[in-house]
Structure 1
Amino acid sequence: MAVTSRHVRRLYLTLVLLNTLAVTFIWGINSLLLFEAGLSNTEALAANACFTLGYAVFEIPTGSIADTWGRRASYLLGGGTLAVTTLLYWLAWRLHAGVWVWAGVSVVLAVGFTFFSGATEAWLVDALHHLRYDGRLEQVFARGQVAAGIGTLAGSLGGAYVAQATDVGVPFLVRAALLLTLTVVAWRVMHDIGFTPRRGSGPVKDVRRVLTESVRHGWGRPAVRWVMLGSMVAAGVGYYVAFTMKPYLLQLAGDRRAYGLLGIAAAANAAAQTVGGLLAMAFQSLFRWRMSVVIAGVALNGALLAGFGLAGGVPLAIALLALHSMVSAAILPSRQAYLNGLLPSDRRATVLSFDSLVASSGGVVTQPGLGRAADLWGYPTSFVLGGLLQVMALPMLFLARRHEVTAATRTEPAEAVPQRS
Structure 2
Amino acid sequence: MRVGGPAAPTTETGVRWRFLLLTGLRWLPVGFVAPVFVLLPLSRGLSLPEVGVVFACYGATTAVLELPTGGLADTVGRKAVLVASSAMHLVFFGLMVVAADVTSWVAVGLAGGVARALDSGPLQAWYVDEARRLEPGVELRPGLSAAGGVEGVGLALSALAGGLLPAVVTSGGLTSVVWAALGGQALHLLAVLGLMSERRHRDLRQPGRGLSGGTRQLSAVVTDGLRLGLRRGPVRMLLLTTVVWGVALAGVEILWQPRFVTLLGGGEDAAAAPGGARTVLLGLLLAGAFLLAAVGSICTPAFTRLLGGSASRGAVVSALLHGAAYAVLAASFAVVPAGAAFLVFYLVNGLRSPLHAELLHEHVSADRRSTMLSVESLSLQTGGFACTLVLPTVAAVTGIPWAWGAVAALLTVSALAYLAVPDRPEAAGPLLAEERAGPPVPGVSS
TM-score by length of 1: 0.80
**Does the 8 A contact of 1:114 with 1:353 survive in 2?**
no
What does 1:16-415 correspond to in 2, within 5 Å? Answer: 16-92=23-99, 96-97=100-101, 99-120=102-123, 131-132=136-137, 144-164=147-167, 165=169, 166=171, 167-190=173-196, 196-201=203-208, 203=210, 205-215=212-222, 218-219=225-226, 221-222=228-229, 227-255=238-266, 256=270, 257-287=274-304, 288=309, 293-333=314-354, 354-399=375-420, 401-402=421-422, 404-406=424-426
372-381 or 178-187: bigger deviation: 178-187
Using the TM superposition, give the Cα deviation of residue 357 of structure 1 relative to its aligned residue in structure 2, in angstroms. 3.0
147-156 or 258-267: bigger deviation: 258-267
Report sequence identity in percent.
21
Using the TM superposition, give the Cα deviation of residue 221 of structure 1 relative to its aligned residue in structure 2, in angstroms. 4.5
**Does the 8 A contact of 1:145 with 1:276 survive in 2?**
no
Rounded to whole Å, the distance in 1 between the matches of 2:427 and 2:131 is: 24
Question: C-alpha offsets along residues 324-370 of structure 1, whole Å, 9 cap, x if unaligned?
Answer: 1222234445556777896979995x875554333222222212321
**Does the 8 A contact of 2:361 with 2:369 survive in 1?**
no
CA distance 1:66–1:203, change in 2 (3 Å):
closer
RMSD: 3.8
For residue 389 of structure 2, what is the amino acid of its counterpart?
P
CA distance 1:243–1:345, change in 2 (3 Å):
same
For residue 379 of structure 1, what is the amino acid of its counterpart?
I
Rounded to whole Å, the distance in 2 between the matches of 1:320 and 1:142 is: 28
Rounded to whole Å, the distance in 2 between the matches of 1:335 and 1:78 is: 30
Local SS of the residue matching 1:27: helix
Structure 1 counterpart of 2:4: none
**Does the 8 A contact of 1:65 with 1:74 survive in 2?**
yes
297-306 or 269-278: bigger deviation: 269-278
**Does the 8 A contact of 1:293 with 1:334 survive in 2?**
yes
Using the TM superposition, give the Cα deviation of residue 208 of structure 1 relative to its aligned residue in structure 2, in angstroms. 3.8
Local SS of the residue matching 1:361: helix
Local SS of the residue matching 2:35: coil
Using the TM superposition, give the Cα deviation of residue 268 of structure 1 relative to its aligned residue in structure 2, in angstroms. 3.2
**Does the 8 A contact of 2:39 with 2:258 survive in 1?**
yes
Rounded to whole Å, the distance in 1 between the matches of 2:31 and 2:47 is: 23
**Does the 8 A contact of 2:160 with 2:287 survive in 1?**
no
Using the TM superposition, give the Cα deviation of residue 250 of structure 1 relative to its aligned residue in structure 2, in angstroms. 1.1
CA distance 1:146–1:295, change in 2 (3 Å):
farther
Using the TM superposition, give the Cα deviation of residue 64 of structure 1 relative to its aligned residue in structure 2, in angstroms. 2.5
Rounded to whole Å, the distance in 2 between the matches of 1:145 and 1:293 is: 23
Using the TM superposition, give the Cα deviation of residue 316 of structure 1 relative to its aligned residue in structure 2, in angstroms. 1.8
Rounded to whole Å, the distance in 2 between the matches of 1:398 and 1:183 is: 47
Rounded to whole Å, the distance in 2 between the matches of 1:336 and 1:19 is: 25
Question: C-alpha offsets along residues 170-195 of structure 1, whole Å, 9 cap, x if unaligned?
Answer: 21122122122113323443467997
Structure 1 counterpart of 2:5: none
Using the TM superposition, give the Cα deviation of residue 398 of structure 1 relative to its aligned residue in structure 2, in angstroms. 4.9
**Does the 8 A contact of 1:84 with 1:176 survive in 2?**
no
218-227 or 82-91: bigger deviation: 218-227
Using the TM superposition, give the Cα deviation of residue 25 of structure 1 relative to its aligned residue in structure 2, in angstroms. 0.5
Rounded to whole Å, the distance in 2 between the matches of 1:353 and 1:177 is: 33
Using the TM superposition, give the Cα deviation of residue 48 of structure 1 relative to its aligned residue in structure 2, in angstroms. 1.8
Larger Rg: 2
**Does the 8 A contact of 1:78 with 1:116 survive in 2?**
yes
**Does the 8 A contact of 2:78 with 2:123 survive in 1?**
yes
Using the TM superposition, give the Cα deviation of residue 248 of structure 1 relative to its aligned residue in structure 2, in angstroms. 0.7
**Does the 8 A contact of 2:24 with 2:151 survive in 1?**
yes
CA distance 1:384–1:75, change in 2 (3 Å):
farther
Rounded to whole Å, the distance in 1 between the matches of 2:144 and 2:296 is: 12
CA distance 1:58–1:398, change in 2 (3 Å):
farther
CA distance 1:207–1:275, change in 2 (3 Å):
closer
64-73 or 166-175: bigger deviation: 64-73
Using the TM superposition, give the Cα deviation of residue 146 of structure 1 relative to its aligned residue in structure 2, in angstroms. 3.6
Local SS of the residue matching 1:286: helix
Question: C-alpha offsets along residues 377-407 of structure 1, whole Å, 9 cap, x if unaligned?
Answer: 11111122222233354355555x4375439
CA distance 1:168–1:281, change in 2 (3 Å):
closer
Local SS of the residue matching 1:215: helix
